[in-house]
Chain A
């Protein structure tokens, strides 16, 4: 505390008693908290110090508590970048859209920093070829004239890579207790739009909805060794679950590195993720992907502040934590071994942003690739990820997905209309856990789903 000047003494004196009382009360309170804490392990703030108590539609858009004033300024500037709608150059405000793109703004797909809908305009299609020479920076064999992503929109006078449409097919199933359910999956239809860009018959496609972005700054600073420690590529412990890291390309270091972000963990860092999204999704050139322009559409400062915004969003605290059903569901979640991949607790290491450093967090992911079976497979390999492997999706904020974006879907292509449907799509390494879930009584299944909705 700064030295107190004599002229200020009278005011401070008034508060002296208050100060002492507060100090004593605070100390007592913390001892109380500690004893409560030790009785509920793994039940703490989802994002460590970055946790925010907000269960509204804006829950994914809150700045992390504990940012300094200067950091908050940077966050706010990044927030404006994230909302910026790009338009065709020349323009006074936000020029640089396209010529080809999927959407004109970050928030156009990551609505309120959460998901987008499984619909053209808010979703995109990754493409590649099954045979040929893998581009080491892309991790796949790109499609001639198109690349690795269908940009289904274009500014005036240009033609998109392809036209995109989709419809849904349904299938039915039954729990062991006889209760029926219905699942749906998308059927993608791509049609040629540009005579110069034929769509190869053997083109591999993978439909993706945009994922929520909060919390990824924490995942970025989980030490690599902690992720690799959990890997079991050859399933040596014979639990049926392997867990493999993806090895991807780092365009900054121009070297191979551990992949952390994206549904197949094909991206090394949030800066690269942000730069790729500007370039591929919006057609906005930037210092990492210049598109051959001497003066890219956005500068390094814009790229940095947008990345900083993504890194410094808070993680929503869980709700209904003292609800007995939720608590029962949490135990069942571990009992049927969902936690073998959806690892509840990770620790972050050192970080440039102080509030992200050395936090105990509860993302419910191991950040590793797992084979999820044929039903979910996109059959499109990506770096070391096979056509049926996916990175374990973080589950924090899961219960808020449809609060932030009503009617949003779950899983990589948004096919699951409910959390229950998402569970039922699990297969491959998750087959045994799913079978155990399905064998639970109706009330236990409901409790487990209630737990997931409390995240």
Chain B
């Protein structure tokens, strides 16, 4: 990406050079480090003290919520303001400017270290340890992975995840692409209204979506009253017996996937629609003059020009699919052979209290997601460069 020019710091160069020599230089870096560490610690303590007060009070929820919001939002700004003030007043002028970057970057680095770097390392280590994370796992540490790939239940979860990863991105992209292509041929206002209707589910939580579809799939045994679920309503209306859709193995996996397809199609549609619109009009016109049919124009001209966007949409949805937990957790809890890796991981961790296997599943997830992420970040950088 393009590097913006860096401002020369106002501190005069010669004096800084003088300082960075010898013992004074090391003193400087110690001070810099101390400042970088002090920033987040002070802020954290402040927040924590208020929180002890909040947690122990049985005050009205509205009051608690308002105080929490004010403390959270105000606290973070106060933290930076206070640190900057401290640097500007307490520190001697000659090192002020070299400490200031630590105030700006320090908190971000500390939070990332605690919440991402340390856990990633720790989870990787735990994956090779036993259920409590105390001793190394059996089989020279590989016990958890061997368990995962031999236990029939975890194998089902892996099989299902692979099915999800193939079916959901493919279906979302195909429907999204079809919809984007079709609406492109409509008037502007119709197009944007139709698109926002498809995009709307993206705003809904996976739990909410699960309830929405749980109602569509709801089932009553024959003789226990009318069917109130839409699908069974249609199904029995056609003269069939009611079906408990979520118990139909292995099709129940597909019924759960429908929920995520319903959510992700809007995303695919929006991105692909923008890509389709950026295909140069001349190219399309030239193809049409050569006598190509609309279908040929689509497959020979449009599709190749948007291929890289399709790849990114597929990888992005694939990442979402690998990490999907809520749908299975809410709809079936993983019963009836519907579990997936991300949901199974939480179950191993919380229900079975097996940190080792849970961490091993997280590592498997991590490895599965890396290639997708690399594709995405690379594409993102290309886009930023051409902007």
Q: A and B from one assembly? A: no
Residues of chain B having any CB pair with chain A under 8 Å: none
Residues of chain A having any CB pair with chain B under 8 Å: none
